[in-house]
Amino acid sequence: MAVRAVRGAVQLERDEAGHMDEQVSELLTAILERNGLVTDDLISVWFTATPDLHSDFPAAAARKLGIVDVPLICAQELDIVGAMPRVVRILAHVESDLAKSEIAHVYLGAAAALRKDIAQ
């Protein structure tokens, strides 16, 4: 079993806690499902949010999904002029038998434009 990193992102339509919870939950679920993972495969998860998101911690959505014994951390994305607004990004470290080339990075909705080279 190897340690792999899985990336993902989603753009929120609005800065509301319930909407963030829904969108981040959808993103986390998609990352797990597309890579054949379960929560026990998670080692740690980094969440970043653009500076225009203030309503909640993205990691709160993971806790609501039952991810309670995995280290989670939230940070703020750099405030770059022209960057896509209202984006939550995830970097999950996982245990997996998948090769690096087989990892499915998940960019939902408009966030797919962030990494057209790896978005699936």
Tens of pLDDT, residue by residue over 76-93, are: 999 999 999 999 999 999
pTM of the model: 0.93
The reported pLDDT for the residue numbered 114 is: 86
Q: What is the mean pLDDT of residues 84-109?
A: 96
Please say if the pLDDT value at position 63 is more than 90: yes
Please say if the pLDDT value at position 119 is more than 60: no
Cross-strand partners of 8? 90, 106
Distance CA 111, CA 84 (A): 8
Q: Which helix (H) or strand (E) holds 61?
A: helix 59-64
Distance CA 26, CA 58 (A): 12
